[in-house]
Structure 1
Amino acid sequence: MSLDVKKCYIDADALLKGHFLLSSGNHSDHYLQSAKVLENPQTAQILAEALSKQIRESKIRVDCVCSPALGGVIAGYELAKALQVRFIFTERVEGIMTLRRGFEVKKNEKILICEDIITTGGSALEAAKCVQAKGGEVIAYAGLANRGFCQRVGSNLEKKPECKLPDNIPLFALEDFIFNMYDPKDCPLCKDGTRAIKPGSRGN
């Protein structure tokens, strides 16, 4: 029996409908609130184990999982636990993604970058540049869910121009979630008179 990721989000009241401001600056009529899903440790473990299965089957060697804080930390930690490797995270300091708190990266260490949700992949790419600057090798990206802009392993969806992740590094995710996304200058929700809210880690 396959894992129904969408049902996990619905059951946790984490598939939100409304008018949302995304981290990219764009607007959307849906939002995935992964924190509500991951607040249940059993669900977090099940999702991470399913994701780790994909990665193991690819035969990619992973030495370490790294996540951008704050949104990716729980997903990344659970994935590292499932893969039985160490876990580190990056965080923004004065707007710049940084590796701190004593975390170190060994030269040529094989690192997987994990987010909760991959939208355009911007935060994941920032985290990747941090570990690459320390000599690490980014061998894959992963997320619990893919918003459909980036191409993931096992999906027929094609990469969209908005995707910031490189073509030569695989992306693993459990499910594609395709929602409308609008430029704020041409957002029909704004024209209807509603205000975009930001429920993510950089909002409330």
Structure 2
Amino acid sequence: MSAGLRREPRLLTLEGGEGAGKSTVLHALRAALLADGYEVVSTREPGGTPLAERIRDLLLAHGDEPVHAHTELLLMFAARAQHVQQVVLPALARGAWVVSDRFTDSSYAYQGVARGMDTGFIAELERQVVGIEPGLTLLLDLGVADARARTRGRDLLDGAGPDRIERERDEFFERVRAGFLQRAAQAPERVRVLDASVAPAEVAAAALRALAAYRAQGA
């Protein structure tokens, strides 16, 4: 457990680069917990509340003004603060499971390692603004070339095109991947690394096995 953070056993988070298949895994975890009779709140970051979704739009939209790394980080934590207070903590308090597509680990990978920001500053924001950490984090690990191929196909299907962060160069996403793997190495009791290069059904099955093993430990 990280210093100054409260571990929340029923908070599950999914991490990984773009195109790793987090949405598919989230739906599988949600269905499994619902089938066992639990209330499940599925959510995402940045976002999860109306205000946090508006902050998400600011973060991901293209604009004429460059977004400074500090601005990006603080907006991420502003959205996260609202998300935690309005969605995550109330759900946990009433006994629900919360499954979130991204959480604070993403800030360490994207803004910390990839943007080169001080991870000590991120840790202080995490303590002061978030105060909790997941009981289980599933890291869907996928190579950058494979991720690019998947997101390119997705963009062609929905016509939306890549957002501001998705337009970063491959070198940026290599650093993001390294940042996630670094987080996994630092917290092996919390983070499970899953190979996301296989078929989506196989990734979902591996995630369900990880959830079953976690619950068998008493979660």
User: Per the shorter chain, which TM-score range?
Assistant: under 0.3
TM-score by length of 2: 0.26
Which is strand-richer, 1 or 2?
A: 1
Which is helix-richer, 1 or 2?
A: 2
User: Comparing both chains, which one has the higher relative contact order based on Cα–Cα distances under 8 Å and sequence gaps of 6 or more?
Assistant: 2
